[in-house]
Structure 1
Amino acid sequence: MPEQKEKRNLTKSKIIYYMLNHSVTSKAELAKELNLSMPTVLTNVNELIAKGIIAENGEYESTGGRKAKSIGINKSYCRAMGMIITANHLEMVMVNLGYEIEKIKRVRLKFSSEIAYCSEVQKNVREFLKESDAGDEILGIGVAIPGIIDQERKIVLKSHALKLENYSLSFLEQALGFPVYFENDANAAMLAEDTLKYANAIYLSLNHTLGGAFCIDGQLVRGQNQKAGEFGHMILVPGGKKCYCGKLGCADAYCAASVLTNDNQISLEKFLEQLESKDLATTKKWEEYLDNLAILISNLRMAYDMDIILGGDVGGVLSRYMIPLGERIMAYNGFDHDVSYMKNCSYEKEASAVGVAKHFFTEYVMQM
């Protein structure tokens, strides 16, 4: 009997996972795509409808005969909160079961390793939950942090951005008062993507600093010391510009968003306005940036031979510049016939916050 129950739970999980990434489907489609018998689909779908997790939401166009009922996830069934900690800000999002962002709030809060910082975070989170009308109904709070994290011991091993080393996250966890999940910000952004669609993929996070992550068979690869995906600190130009980590020639010094914003002296939006107005200095900087980014992407493709998702602040706007970027990449890559492996990110903003929130939905589905 326990074995049968486990099998039923696994089937439910498969159905929910599929529906989380397909906003509208039908029982016939589930049977076909998941290789399940129609009686199995009917039994499980009816149970999930009774629980309120999924709902009938219309009808498919008829191809002859009776119209099939369309079904989808009940997005309001549960929620989770995601949070990004940076050196100077705290960003919070409320995400529903349909992976939609219902509310965003960004507050200026300078990071500190002092306990008083945890109290400030607690205060802001309580205000955000009150404004979201979420109360105690959320599954948990995910926290994305720019640094190398030991999840088992809940320690930030190292963070250049926050100037931390061996920093315990226990005080912050206690202050939040909900189940908490901590994750590196680039890993979290990778988790915001559909890891069924991108089971084997690299996520290149082109934010103020450059980060990265990658999945194999739908699972994050963390490496022996939790450092996998630190693409920003691969040497791109030997003896080149100084990186914030202290080394010379790191990819971060050439491909991070800070290269375009002069280390936040101007906004990325202002840079793009100047680019669109054909400002000569801005155009020259952009072309140099694309050249360096093309080398990095080509190197990653050679090393991993998988899809590369362009994310982060710059990744969010690169969809407008894929042709000039692709032309540069092809000049460095003699093995691929096109650049169809380059993908645009699903979330132009708040990807890391969505990714850490999604962790709780995955956990919830697994426990069904």
Structure 2
Amino acid sequence: MAGKAEKKSNTRSRIISYVMNNENTSKVEISKNLNISMPTVLSNVNELMESGVLVETGEYASTGGRKAKSIGINPSYRYAMGIVITANHVGMTLVNMRSEIEKTDRVRMKFSPETSYCGELSILVKKFLEDMEEPEKLLGIGISIPGIISQEQHLVVKSHALKIENYSLSFLEQSFSCPVYFENDANAAMMAEDIHQYRNAIYLSLNNTLGGAFCIDGKLFSGQNQKAGEFGHMILVPGGRKCYCGKKGCADAYCAASALTDGKYESLELFMEALSEGNTKAQKKWADYLDNLAILISNLRMAYDMDIILGGEVGGYLADHMLALGEKVMEYNGFDRDIRYLKNCTYRKEASAVGAAKHFFSEFIKNI
């Protein structure tokens, strides 16, 4: 009996996962694409609709017989929250079952390893969620942190950005009354993407610091010491600019968003405004930035031969500059005839928050 129940649970999980990654589908499509018999699909889909997990979203065009009903995930069935912790800010995002952002806010709050920070963060979260009509629908809170996370030891092994080492996450976890999950910021951003679309991919998180993540066969790859994807600290220019990690010439010093703002602009948005207005200094800096980014991209493509997703704050703007970037990448890579392996990120600003939150949807689906 246990085996039968487990098999049914696995079938349900596969169906829900498929529906979540296909905005509108039908029972016929589910049966065909998941190779599940139609009677099994009908039984499971009907039960999931009765419980409210799935809903009818409309009708397909008639092919002569009765119109097939399109079905989709019920976005309000459950929610999850994502928090992004940086050195000077806290970002909070509420996500529904369709991975749609219901609400988001960003508050200036300097990180501190003291327990008082945990209390302040707890107050911020309570205020953020106070207008949630059904708080029992919150599955948990995913927290994104710029650093190397040890899930087993439950600590931040090292974070240059937050200036902490071997920092226990226990106090932070205990600040909330619901389940909490911690993840590296770049890994979380990768998780925000559709892993069914990107089975094998690299994520470049081009924020104020440069992070990276691997997705291999639909799963995050962390490496032996949870350091896989630390592309920001690959040497790009030997003996070059000093990086915040202490080394010289790191990719972070040339390809992070901070390489563009560089103390002259309060935000990347202001830099991009200057660029669009034709500011010559901004144009020169942008051209140099794209050149350095093209070298990094070419090296990663040569090493891993995967799709490369351009994310983070800069990644959000690159969608309008792909031609210029592509031309530079082609100059450094004579093995690819096009740059279709370069992909734009799905979420321009809240990727890490969404990805950390989506962890709870994955767990929910596994155990349904």
TM-score bucket (shorter structure):
over 0.9
Give the partner amino acid of 1:351: A
Moved more, 290-299 or 30-39: 30-39
Moved more, 129-138 or 188-197: 129-138
Moved over 6 A (4+): none
**TM-score (structure 1 length as normaliser):** 0.98
**How many angstroms does 1:131 deviate by?**
2.9
Number of aligned positions between the proteins: 368
The match for 1:272 is 272
Classify the secondary structure of the residue corresponding to 1:47: helix
The answer to whether 1:209 aligns with 2:209 is yes
Distance 1:185 1:24, change over 3 A: same
Moved more, 63-72 or 334-343: 63-72
**Runs of 5+ consecutive residues of structure 2 not aligned to the other structure:** none
The match for 2:87 is 87
**How many angstroms does 1:178 deviate by?**
1.2
CA distance in 1, matches of 2:27, 2:151: 39
The answer to whether 1:328 aligns with 2:328 is yes
List aligned pairs for 1:116-127, cutoff 5 A.
116-127=116-127
**How many angstroms does 1:321 deviate by?**
0.4
**Runs of 5+ consecutive residues of structure 1 not aligned to the other structure:** none
Percent identity of paired positions between Structure 1 and Structure 2: 65
The match for 2:18 is 18
Given that 2:77 and 2:137 are in contact with CA atoms closer than 8 Å, whether structure 1 keeps it comes out as no
Q: Which digits, 9 at most, give the CA deviation of each residue in 1:285-337, with x for residues without a partner?
A: 11000000000000000111010000000001101000010011011111111
**How many angstroms does 1:31 deviate by?**
1.0
CA distance in 1, matches of 2:264, 2:43: 55
**TM-score (structure 2 length as normaliser):** 0.98
Q: Which digits, 9 at most, give the CA deviation of each residue in 1:55-75, with x for residues without a partner?
A: 112101112222110100000
Distance 1:68 1:283, change over 3 A: same
The match for 2:296 is 296
The answer to whether 1:261 aligns with 2:261 is yes
Given that 1:92 and 1:353 are in contact with CA atoms closer than 8 Å, whether structure 2 keeps it comes out as yes
Given that 1:237 and 1:250 are in contact with CA atoms closer than 8 Å, whether structure 2 keeps it comes out as yes
Q: Which digits, 9 at most, give the CA deviation of each residue in 1:212-262, with x for residues without a partner?
A: 001101110001111000000000011111101010000000000001111
Classify the secondary structure of the residue corresponding to 1:176: coil
List aligned pairs for 1:1-368, cutoff 5 A.
1-263=1-263, 265-368=265-368
**How many angstroms does 1:263 deviate by?**
4.2
Give the partner amino acid of 1:88: N
- C-alpha RMSD of matched pairs (Å): 1.0
Given that 2:81 and 2:93 are in contact with CA atoms closer than 8 Å, whether structure 1 keeps it comes out as yes
Give the partner amino acid of 1:43: S
CA distance in 1, matches of 2:134, 2:329: 46
CA distance in 2, matches of 1:149, 1:16: 29
